[in-house]
Amino acid sequence: MTSALPSRTETWAFEAGEFAVHIYGGGPPLLLVHGIGPGTSIRANFSAVLPALAAQRTVYGIDLIGFGASPRKQAPPLFDFDLWVKQARAAVSRIGATELAVWGQSLGAAVALSVAAEEPSVTTVIGTGAGGGAQELNETLDRFWASPATPEAMRRAMEGAVYAPGLLSDAQIEDRFGRLSAEGLGPYFDAMMASGKQAHLQSCWLSPDVLQRVRARVLLIHGRDDRPVPYRESALHLLDHLQDARLMLLSRCGHNPMLERTDDVLALALAHLPTRQATPCNT
């Protein structure tokens, strides 16, 4: 569990305000960027792999504005892909490594690739369940991008994102629903989605021009059975236009490979990440 890891949470500032950064472990730096969903956060997306990552690296997990321990945005648009990219770029600058790895889940992978297109210090990218393609809103994502009224509704929404629903424990559902229920986060998420889910997807589309500017080595890990973000609509688009990329498709796997195929994902990710220390760091 992530609660057993030595960690600290810091508040970092950037041009649009402040955001929370959870720091674990020690060693070469790795920046984590979570996806978008009701009650999501670094802990919600990356808990299955954090202990192994923190054993080898200094892990910086940012909660995007509006999620986790970061503040909410006060004025529309609440769904603000450009803002999240600016936030991640600010984190890259603050970490200050000459060579930095960034791992993004879902929309967080689109953020990571957008940052890599502009920041030469980002030399390695991992994208799990990566968004960024010209995707049409589907029923599963539509259901997931809504605030559930009960733990049972939360379970139904989350089951659509996994291949084997039995992987979701009652504790996971209760923890995520509890965080969503706290301090009005549910209504805030619904307000974020109210301006149009298809338009939100389009705002995250990564053009061939953006992708071709990415010089980083990219590893895409995608569940073959990912229903919210089908690989044919997203991962293949990224693979078509990235200069240095490979795609690993995992069978019997949905939208969060880290949860469903933890050992396989860790083996692939750790083999892809650079092993030598990147310096200097500004934290």
Backbone angles phi, psi at 50, to 5 degrees: -60, -45
The mean per-residue pLDDT over the stretch 58-72 comes to 96
Q: In this predicted structure, what is the pLDDT of residue 6?
A: 59
- Domain residue ranges in the chain: 2-272
Instruction: Read off the pLDDT of each residue in 17-28 and give the average, rounded to a whole number.
Output: 96
> Which of helix, strand or coil describes residue 59?
strand
Alpha helices in the chain (DSSP H): 42-46, 50-54, 81-95, 107-118, 139-144, 151-159, 170-181, 185-193, 197-203, 208-212, 235-241, 257-260, 262-272
- Residue 222 binned pLDDT confidence (cut-offs 50, 70, 90): very high
Residue 1 predicted with pLDDT over 50: no
Per-residue tokens: 3? 């609660």
- Reported as a pLDDT band with limits 50, 70 and 90, residue 5 is low
Q: What is the DSSP letter of 17?
A: E
Residue 279's pLDDT band (boundaries 50, 70, 90)? very low
With a cut of 70, say whether residue 283 has pLDDT above it.
Answer: no
**Assigned CATH for 2-272:** 3.40.50.1820
Instruction: Say which residue the tokens 């923890």 belong to.
Output: 175
- CB-neighbour burial class of residue 275 (10 A; exposed 0-12, middle 13-18, buried 19+): exposed
